[in-house]
Amino acid sequence: MNRNELAKIVSSLRNPKIHLPFFKFKPHTVPTRWNLYRNLLRYAPTDEVRHSIRQVFRAKRHITSPTTATAYLKRGHERLDAFLRNQRSDTPRPRVAHTLRSTPVLDMRLVKLPRVRSKPRLTGGFVRPSLFNRALPRMKPQPPEISGMIVKRVKGRARRIEQQTYWKEAQSDMKLEAQFERNALSLAQRSSAHRKEKEIPELVYHEKLGQWLDPIKSQLSQIDKSFAADEARFNSKFSPQMVAHVKRARTYRILNKTRERQREAAGEITPASLRRGRKGVPAHVWINLSEEERKTISERRKWAITETHKRAAAQG
């Protein structure tokens, strides 16, 4: 065995050199995203910890050093093990979450925590029924599940309309092909009536037209059922229990707004008064004002905003 043959054998046993950076290599990106990141979000004990995990991963996604990335991945797997132990143990979650927040493993103390999510509340209004939702009470903020449901149904209806158009065109084409074969067969029979050897064309669609149309009719039937469900949603009614519940929420809202106005009249600075103070003059009024009036209003508005913030700071 000469030197060249030995080099070929040895080179075939070597690991192939990867010309991609590690952060573009599938054996690294797939486990990191689907096994580590998703499970960290799934088993995080609180929303604050979950938000911190998102922020840390976004801040560290530009790391190109394999050593640094390995260290962070190791810390991430340690946190995932802690989350899983928390799921399997009887330790109260708030205590474990406090322990996790106090450890700098994921640099959670350097991350700004999100605002507390507002709980959806009834506004006293109604969401009218449509093709994509039944009669619902109006909530603020609207739950993301309802928004996602409506968006999904809008896209699904558009997709079904395209499918319906496609299958109707296919059905029409099948019938035209069958009609063409019938005409060709009739023409062939008339032309071969005076011949000894009769040539009969092969029929593909004419004799088995029903079998060709059955799958198309099945698809169209399913689409029609989905459209019927859309119409049922559009024609849905508000139940008496829902109407009573919404009216009760409307009464509570009026009472709350009345108490808020009374507090403002007594001199209290409320979030609503701060929002109103930051608003300008309505456009239909502003356009009819002179330059001097606009300047005066702007100066007064600046002074009012400053005083409002001073009073708010003094109160709280």
Q: pLDDT for 247-261, tens place per residue?
A: 999 999 999 999 999
CB atoms within 10 A of CB 45: 22
- Residue 103 pLDDT greater than 60, yes or no: no
Domain ranges of the chain: 20-110, 120-237+245-268, 269-316
Most confident of 70-84, 91-105, 110-124: 70-84
Looking at residue 186, what is its pLDDT?
A: 81
Residue 290 CB partners (closer than 8 Å, separation 6+): none
Distance of CA 18 to the CA centre of its chain: 37
One DSSP character per residue, 99-147 reads HHHHSGGGTGGGSPPPPPPPPPEEEEEEE---SS--SEEEEESPPHHHH
pLDDT band at 192 (very low <50, low <70, confident <90, very high): low
Looking at residue 105, what is its pLDDT?
A: 43
- Residue 309 pLDDT greater than 90, yes or no: no
Give the integer Cα–Cα distance in Å for 85 and 104: 19
- Residue 130 pLDDT greater than 90, yes or no: yes
Looking at residue 251, what is its pLDDT?
A: 95
- What value does the mean pLDDT take over residues 107-128? 68
pLDDT tens string 258-295: 999 999 899 887 878 777 767 777 888 888 989 998 88
pLDDT band at 11 (very low <50, low <70, confident <90, very high): low
Looking at residue 93, what is its pLDDT?
A: 52
- Residue 226 pLDDT greater than 60, yes or no: yes
The mean pLDDT value of the chain amounts to 82
**Assessment of whether the complete model's pTM goes beyond 0.85:** no
